[in-house]
Amino acid sequence: MIAQTDLAGSFALHGTSITVNRMGYGAMQLAGPHVFGPPRDTNDAVAVLHEAVESGVNHIDTSDYYGPHVTNQIIKLALHPYPKGLVIVTKLGARRGADASWIPAQSRQELIDGAHDNLKNLGIDALDVVNLRVGGFTEPSEGSIEEP
């Protein structure tokens, strides 16, 4: 997706009616240490989200594999029903192992399941923007992403 910026610092996502402010919030660190498990203090995480939105952030970058599920559940707890104009961007293409490892999840069914997990844990019917995480976690991976 190509973004166009205006002088006020917002971006219109090409081909959509979605506009995001130049500054967004990356929700990865809302989960516990190493992006795994719950945070030390959920109330603090909720307060961070409230402050971000009150400060003019209208773009939250997240994924259901943060936690796993924890970050999206905190976003839902803090902000649902979502304010008009809030754009939630998520990622698919990975999952977390029980040992907190990052595991590629790029088969067609894993991507479908990941989209459904994001919808459920965010409490929404549609995703504004979905990014596909491809490649290895420490180096590029081989193969095509055509099938998924």
**Could you give the count of Cα atoms lying within 13 Å of 124 in the half-sphere of its Cβ?**
23
Alpha-carbon distance 17 to 49, whole Å?
24
Alpha-carbon distance 89 to 94, whole Å?
15
Closest CA to 59 of 19, 83, 84, 88: 88
**What pTM did the predictor assign?**
0.87
Per-residue model confidence (pLDDT) at position 138: 67
Per-residue model confidence (pLDDT) at position 38: 97
Homologous superfamily in CATH for domain 3-132: NADP-dependent oxidoreductase domain (3.20.20.100)
Domain residue ranges of the chain, discontinuous segments joined by +: 3-132
**59-61 and 3-5: which strand pairing?**
unpaired
Per-residue model confidence (pLDDT) at position 6: 42
Tell me the C-alpha to C-alpha distance, in Å, between residue 18 and each of 1, 72, 88. Answer: 11, 21, 11
pLDDT tens-digit profile, the chain (148 residues): 334 444 357 777 778 888 888 789 999 999 999 999 999 999 999 999 999 999 999 999 999 999 999 999 999 999 999 999 999 999 999 999 999 999 989 899 999 999 999 999 999 999 989 999 886 666 667 777 777 7
At 100, which amino acid appears?
A
Alpha-carbon distance 137 to 104, whole Å?
8
Which are the catalytic amino acids?
A: 66
